[in-house]
Amino acid sequence: MYEVSPTTRAAPLPFGSNIAYPIDDLVCHRTRLSTQRLQRDSRRVDAGPDHYMVQIYRSGRFQGTVGGKSLSASRGTVTLIGRRHLLDGILDRADGIGIAVPCARLHGLPFEEHDLLFDAARNRLLAARILDIYRRLPTTRADKAPALADEFVSFLRRLLEPSQASDVLEGCELHGGLSALAGTIVQENLSRPDLSPEFIAGQMQVSRATLYRLFEPEGGVMHFVQGERLKAVRDALADPMETRTLGRLAEVFAFSSLSQLSRSFRNRYGVPPQAWRTERRVAQRIDGQGTLQNVWAWLRET
């Protein structure tokens, strides 16, 4: 899909790593790349599949031109780039998560009027959705993939359809109400030791009484927060590209100690966290060849 080269003659040779998950006719991937130059000419455009890549930069940056337009993307930026776009730019130690969507799925949308980037409201909503999907994929069953793909495409169409801009900006339809908004705020702040009802209510601009009523079905606000932290650890341990130790994950997700994380994890999931990581890695090695074949089949057929 790209010609890859060092940024200068004296620069180190490019390197990187990638993992991809087929989601029906979509593909979600996470890619880590060293500093390098990427180019896509007309020959590569003609030879490749026709899709759009929606990608969030977790770190690093891209600087260059795409389809004749200048593009600068850094941490937290979501880009929308067509596979038919010529591309020439520099990636600087980038870690990105993207979802490739066949153009046929987005037929009828006015892409010629859309920029390569999103406004702040759409960027925030789309970034949260991409990260949530990637977090869930290692534990998502294959028979759930079509529904997950349909859900994401529907979401993306709503973001790109001009007539639905008010829904995006007001947050009523896409946030799905206060519960989804609260969940988004919790997800974005799991690393904060002071993630409290007061903090969440302040971010939502609602009273604590409203927040408490909202979380009564979940067993309380902090019970929900603890559950989300444990899910985040579980999903990180299932990610083949996750290299952080259990101790580091305990720090990142604001557990008071490694022992508290291990005890809480066992109580929630029935196994110690290290055993969970080992089980998932073994299962992924067994399934890996089939996954690789599915991805290449998708590239050939889309």
pLDDT tens sequence across 169-216: 455 444 445 676 788 789 889 999 989 999 998 887 778 888 898 888
CATH 1.20.1050.10 fits 1-173, yes or no: no
Tell me the per-residue pLDDT of 4-27, one tens digit each, with 9 for 90 and over: 999 999 999 999 999 999 999 999
Tell me how far apart the alpha carbons of residues 127 and 138 are, in angstroms, rounded to a whole number. 19
Which of the four CATH numbers 1.10.1740.10, 1.10.10.60, 2.70.98.30, 3.30.2310.20 does domain 177-302 have?
Answer: 1.10.10.60
Produce one character per residue of 22-50: b if its CB has 16 or more CB atoms within 10 Å, e if not: bbbbbbbbbbbbbbbbbebeeeebeeebe
Between helices 197-204 and 221-238, what is the axis angle to 10°? Answer: 90
Query: Boundaries of CATH 1.10.10.60 in the chain?
Result: 177-302
Among 60-74, 129-143, 145-159, which stretch is predicted with the lowest mean pLDDT?
129-143
Residue 261 has pLDDT above 60, yes or no: yes
Say what the pTM is.
0.69
Tell me how far apart the alpha carbons of residues 145 and 205 are, in angstroms, rounded to a whole number. 35
* Distance (Å) of CA 256 to CA 225, 235, 237, 263, 264: 14, 19, 19, 12, 11
* Distance (Å) of CA 151 to CA 40, 144, 259, 265: 30, 11, 38, 30
- CB 170: neighbour CB atoms within 10 A? 11
**pLDDT the model gives residue 111:** 80
Tell me the pLDDT band of 115, cut-offs 50, 70 and 90.
Answer: confident
Tell me how far apart the alpha carbons of residues 122 and 174 are, in angstroms, rounded to a whole number. 10
| Residues 6 or more apart whose Cβ sits within 8 Å of residue 160 | 106, 109, 110, 111, 114
Task: Identify whether the C-beta of residue 19 lies closer than 8 Å to the C-beta of residue 29.
Answer: yes
Tell me how far apart the alpha carbons of residues 232 and 201 are, in angstroms, rounded to a whole number. 22
- CB 270: neighbour CB atoms within 10 A? 9
Q: Are strands 3-5 and 87-102 parallel, antiparallel or unpaired?
A: unpaired
Residue 125 has pLDDT above 90, yes or no: no
Residue type, 226: Q
Residue 122 has pLDDT above 90, yes or no: no
Query: Boundaries of CATH 2.60.120.10 in the chain?
Result: 1-173
